[in-house]
Structure 1
Amino acid sequence: MKIFSKIFLSIKHFWLPIILALITVLTVTACNPANFKSAAAQVPQLVRSILSDPQTFNFPLNQDASTTGLLLLLYEGLITENYQTGKVEPALAESWQFSDDKLKIVFTLREGLKWSDGQPLTVDDVVFTYNDIYFNKAIPTDVRDVLRIGESGKLPSVKKIDERRVEFIVPEPFAPFLRSATGYPILPAHTLEKSVKTKDQEGKPIFLSQWGVDTPPDQIIVNGPYKLERYDTSQRVVFRRNPYYWRKGSKGEPQPYIERIVWQIVESTDTSLLQFRSGGLDTVGVSPDYFSLLKLQEKQGNFKIYNGGPATSTSFVWFNLNKGKRNGKPLVNPVKSRWFNNLQFRQAVAYAIDRQTIINNTFRGLGTTQNSPISVQSPYYLSPKEGLKVYDYNLKKSKELLLKAGFKYNDKNQLVDAEGNRVRFTLLTNAGNKIREAMGSQIKQDLSKIGIQVDFTPIAWNTFTDKISNSLDWEASLMGLTGGLEPNDGANVWNPEGGLHMFNQKPQPGQQPIQGWEVAPWEAQIGQLYIKGARELDEAKRKEIYAETQRITQENLPFIYLVNPLSLSAVRNRFEGIRFSALGGAFWNIHEIKVTD
């Protein structure tokens, strides 16, 4: 290192850009997943990227939506969704039948199902997964929030009928019964049952520490198309085809066809782009700032950019509305908490964000303004044409709302509250996501026009999620969630006690208690409407219920929705069988995709 330093310092200044460029190329090449191939193992593989390390390989404990797709390579449930048609299809269960009153559903498992260690997968595993894990209050899982039924929050009962049939019973009509309740991954009783029953020194199931990222891959027993082969921290997660996976091709050949999948951990979307262009990645999400460049290179690079229309993801700014205290200390500075909990303040912020400029500049026109938590693909989506309130850019209206709420401007044109406190807060997002970083910078600039100082601070993903869901030590954030067809899949966001009720989070099992936690009337109303919507079997009435939830969310703005980008991905032409959709992306049907070279 000393020798290199002397040489480097003696080089003339005009060589510096060349040296830096060379270092960049060497760094990208060294991290290039294309180099992750041994001479003895040239097998059909797919190489893609993810922004951060997984937090766990234990699906029920995972709270990171960005790694859900990775985990679903390992696990499968009774049913699945066809993301091209939107219909429910058989998975581990070959068939199902509802009772006449719609309160019972009996699933029949396929014959000969096995776990990745060769052990039989049986009805006992299904009963164990639901009764001992998903329904276990000692296990903090977001899955349970979606499965709660009615005002009482009762869970379905699950019981074994015989060696191949299992029965689910709900206490009252539950419209999303099939789609929401029975697609969650089934877990192996023979491997995990002991960890659920055994308690640690604090009286918690040791299941909570099972299948972490430090677990040897061969100890993680799965039923999906792939099993974990290796995990190199901050480098890659490697999956190998599960030889006991149940699916077969048209000629009886085992599926999936792709032998190995490598998820390269790349903490910058810019680096992912470099790796894709150099041939190291087989697919990359096409963000708007990359679109023009990649479009010109489609033929030369032997890839295709797929466009699925508006993405199912949401993006939003939200404030910490939690009025509670921990150990006598307010989670949010009381002065700022009063701002955030002022409806006119939130509405003023919404009017001050120039979403069209964000679309034009950050998204290069490849997006639309977003106004609802429900995906546009959903039959329950309420459009602005149908009466949904929108917050188009209007600085005059924004300032009027602030003045009406008791705020005022000082002689420096800075916004202050009635007590003279300067309106200033920190806006967090996850570092490495260039689109979000650009959006945050734009929002900072927009809000400065109404006298608000925003300290925009991108931080590491794991630190960010810990603040949002655990320590609750934050003021405002910029993030997004993934949507879908069924509104009840978002019940854990809108149930005041849900694990993703981020704007006013109640402590989850195992977290420190909060004193003085309050639920606003509109907040409770949304939660009640989600219960009512899940109970209603008449589709027209159900649509109106969810329309009302969207009206309330847009009036009260727990989330200030921003932009809905187009769903764009670039995929190498050597993959056959791609059925791209905004709901599932390029590889939702991974079992039937083939490598052609």
Structure 2
Amino acid sequence: MNRCLVRFIMVLLSLILVFSTVSISLAQKVPKPNFYNTPADYQRVTGKRITKFGESPMLAELVKQGKLPPVDKRLPKDPLVVVPIEEIGQYGGQVNLFTNSPNSLGEADYFTGYEHILGIATDGSSVTPRIARGWKFTEGGKTLTIYLRKGMRWSDGAPFTADDILFWYEDIILNDELTPVKPVYWSPGGKLMKVEKVDDYTVRLNFAVPYPMATYRLAHETGAIYRPKHFLKQFHPKYTPIEEINKRAKAEGFEKWYQLFGKYNTINATEVNCPTLRSFVLTKRGTDFLVMERNPYFWQIDTAGNQLPYIDRIFISVVQSIDIMDMKAISGEADFAGRRTSLENYTLYKENEKKGNYRVLLWQGLWGSNFIIEINQTYKEDPVLRNIFRDVRFRRAMSLAINREELNQMLYFGLGVPRQTTVIPQSPYYEESFGSAYTKYDPETANKLLDEMGLKRGTDGYRLRPDGKRLEILLEHVPDATATRLGEMLVRYWDAIGVKVAVKEI
């Protein structure tokens, strides 16, 4: 690995303390703003002008050989300007990452990032430009016009234009074989939106009703409303004879043309040499490794005008399990780990930090919680139990019986701020009254609420249902070490208020 690169483990923290989440401060201070929409915006705010563009020596050599156009011809007219978190980077080097499946990019997914039409700012709520340089609502919120970056290109050099969005809409979404069920999130008012091309770099989304949430949709996974038309046409019967497509589908082990199309219908660089707008392109896949190389047409620069990314190559080794991925990170063999790390191993990461020559960074996630206890209020098999679940006093009692401070210390090393399950505080929809509702450890009040419900204790100390049977609950969870420990503690808390709980891993 290039010595200028720093290994680090990122522990994504958006933690849950049963009915609640915890939040922590960042180990790195994110600059504000962390990017500028265009070089002109950067100059207007900072007074500094980007006068030339830099590129990796690896790409400069290809330009010299005539295999690539100059960097200023590869960038869009207005590239996105990214503010480095710590410093301007150095070009070159290879990053070594791990995955537990040859069909998954593993840690590279987090390392390379995702690209949507719009983005979300570091405040967790504001919508920002991303692939699109701008947008505008008209017609009372029923029309959203999107302005793309002129001169932007796919990783193979083909222009990225409004036609790529029209292809997604007309040839994928409207095609009943490819999309038999239309996306609900693009059907406000019960009617699928219409997409209209204004010019090569302008698109209109037309809705049946005002849809202000459209910008938020475009800033998340649902915002990937584009596909490389120039590449996918070869797999679509509208553009290529179906006999030819079927022949290729059979050769690749598929029965239907749309199965072949589905394999290559990706924008996340998960298939070899598929065009992408991400920073790296998957160039090779073996049984136990994957290789990604820098996107020579990536549309972002740093504040010095250097085309991103800094790193030339990613080598992803396939291992058998997440535990092995952890061991590779701890031993210093991984240059980055974040997608599969867990707070449960935080002390292990820290203890080996110096020996493994890496840094451990605590990073705020955007999830409201990792664990949520959902009491099934529609349980059909047992009407008596269902009625108990539907009584709000029961749910409040179960929450009040949980000692969140103890959970914080035992499971999360005291890094948490106990809170009810809700959105994170950065969200404009966060309300403190929601976050603190019934989170105080108060088994006395919990017992009173259950007494009010008429759930009397039997001779064994456990409460009885209205039909005289012992109140017993099954708590199920997916395989997860932290969830197992959490379940054990919940059994103890709820046992103290007379509710018999069994935990089952499913």
Among candidates 424, 436, 455, match of residue 407 of structure 1: 455
Structure 1 residues 168 and 279: CA distance shift in structure 2, 3 A: same
Q: CA deviation at 1:457?
A: 3.3
Structure 1 residues 212 and 163: CA distance shift in structure 2, 3 A: closer
Say whether the 8 Å CA contact 1:374–1:380 is kept in structure 2: yes
RMSD (Å) for aligned C-alpha atoms: 4.5
SS in 2 for 1:222: coil
How many residue pairs get matched? Answer: 394
Q: Distance in 2 between matches of 1:381 and 1:410?
A: 41
Structure 1 residues 419 and 442: CA distance shift in structure 2, 3 A: same
Structure 1 residues 266 and 154: CA distance shift in structure 2, 3 A: farther
Among candidates 222, 228, 234, match of residue 188 of structure 1: 228
Match of 1:359 in 2: 408
Match of 1:245 in 2: 298
Q: CA deviation at 1:376?
A: 0.8
Among candidates 82, 93, 104, match of residue 44 of structure 1: 93
Say whether the 8 Å CA contact 1:351–1:392 is kept in structure 2: yes
Asked whether 1:455 is paired with 2:495, we answer no
Q: CA deviation at 1:249?
A: 4.9
Match of 1:392 in 2: 440
Q: Distance in 2 between matches of 1:395 and 1:406?
A: 17
Say whether the 8 Å CA contact 2:289–2:316 is kept in structure 1: yes
CA deviation digits over 1:72-93, x for unaligned, max 9? 9485332223437865443332
Among candidates 149, 174, 188, match of residue 110 of structure 1: 149
Structure 1 residues 253 and 360: CA distance shift in structure 2, 3 A: closer
Say whether the 8 Å CA contact 2:227–2:265 is kept in structure 1: no
Q: CA deviation at 1:114?
A: 3.3
Q: CA deviation at 1:162?
A: 1.6
Q: Distance in 2 between matches of 1:72 and 1:147?
A: 29
The TM-score with structure 2 as length reference comes to 0.63
Among candidates 184, 191, 203, match of residue 166 of structure 1: 203
- Written as runs of structure 1 = structure 2, the 5 A alignment for 1:540-555 is none
Q: CA deviation at 1:281?
A: 2.1
Structure 1 residues 228 and 209: CA distance shift in structure 2, 3 A: same
Match of 1:439 in 2: 486
Q: Distance in 2 between matches of 1:321 and 1:44?
A: 55
The TM-score with structure 1 as length reference comes to 0.54
Structure 1 residues 134 and 70: CA distance shift in structure 2, 3 A: farther
Among candidates 278, 292, 306, match of residue 224 of structure 1: 278
Q: CA deviation at 1:211?
A: 4.8
- Written as runs of structure 1 = structure 2, the 5 A alignment for 1:442-521 is 442-459=489-506
Structure 1 residues 354 and 205: CA distance shift in structure 2, 3 A: farther
Match of 2:31 in 1: none
Structure 1 residues 88 and 136: CA distance shift in structure 2, 3 A: farther
Q: Where in structure 1 are there 5+ consecutive unaligned residues?
A: 1-42, 58-66, 324-329, 460-597
Q: CA deviation at 1:161?
A: 0.9
Asked whether 1:319 is paired with 2:356, we answer no
Among candidates 276, 280, 291, match of residue 333 of structure 2: 280
Say whether the 8 Å CA contact 1:248–1:255 is kept in structure 2: yes
Structure 1 residues 56 and 287: CA distance shift in structure 2, 3 A: closer
Match of 2:476 in 1: 428
Say whether the 8 Å CA contact 1:287–1:435 is kept in structure 2: no
Match of 2:396 in 1: 347
Q: Distance in 1 between matches of 2:363 and 2:138?
A: 37
Counterpart AA for 1:345: F
Q: Distance in 1 between matches of 2:427 and 2:330?
A: 35
Say whether the 8 Å CA contact 1:287–1:363 is kept in structure 2: no
- Written as runs of structure 1 = structure 2, the 5 A alignment for 1:518-597 is none
Match of 2:115 in 1: 76
SS in 1 for 2:501: strand
Q: CA deviation at 1:402?
A: 3.0
Q: Distance in 1 between matches of 2:483 and 2:236?
A: 39
Q: CA deviation at 1:279?
A: 0.4
CA deviation digits over 1:141-188, x for unaligned, max 9? 999444453xx3444432111222111233444333323336512223
SS in 2 for 1:319: coil
Structure 1 residues 242 and 446: CA distance shift in structure 2, 3 A: same
Q: Distance in 1 between matches of 2:321 and 2:487?
A: 16
Say whether the 8 Å CA contact 1:427–1:455 is kept in structure 2: yes
| Structure having greater relative contact order (Cα 8 Å, sep ≥ 6) | 2
CA deviation digits over 1:197-254, x for unaligned, max 9? 89999999648953599x9923744322223345678x66653323343334567654
Greater helix proportion: 1
Say whether the 8 Å CA contact 1:196–1:206 is kept in structure 2: no
Say whether the 8 Å CA contact 2:279–2:309 is kept in structure 1: yes
Q: CA deviation at 1:357?
A: 1.1
Match of 1:90 in 2: 129
* % identical equivalent positions: 25
Counterpart AA for 2:442: N
Q: CA deviation at 1:317?
A: 1.1
SS in 2 for 1:77: coil
SS in 1 for 2:272: helix
Structure exhibiting the larger radius of gyration computed from Cα positions: 2
Q: Distance in 2 between matches of 1:49 and 1:308?
A: 20
Say whether the 8 Å CA contact 1:269–1:434 is kept in structure 2: no
Say whether the 8 Å CA contact 2:124–2:426 is kept in structure 1: no
Say whether the 8 Å CA contact 2:494–2:500 is kept in structure 1: yes
Say whether the 8 Å CA contact 1:372–1:381 is kept in structure 2: no
Structure 1 residues 387 and 316: CA distance shift in structure 2, 3 A: closer
Q: Distance in 2 between matches of 1:249 and 1:243?
A: 15
Counterpart AA for 1:93: A
Structure 1 residues 304 and 337: CA distance shift in structure 2, 3 A: same
Q: Distance in 2 between matches of 1:69 and 1:180?
A: 24
Match of 1:553 in 2: none
Say whether the 8 Å CA contact 1:75–1:222 is kept in structure 2: no
Say whether the 8 Å CA contact 1:312–1:376 is kept in structure 2: no
Structure 1 residues 230 and 313: CA distance shift in structure 2, 3 A: farther
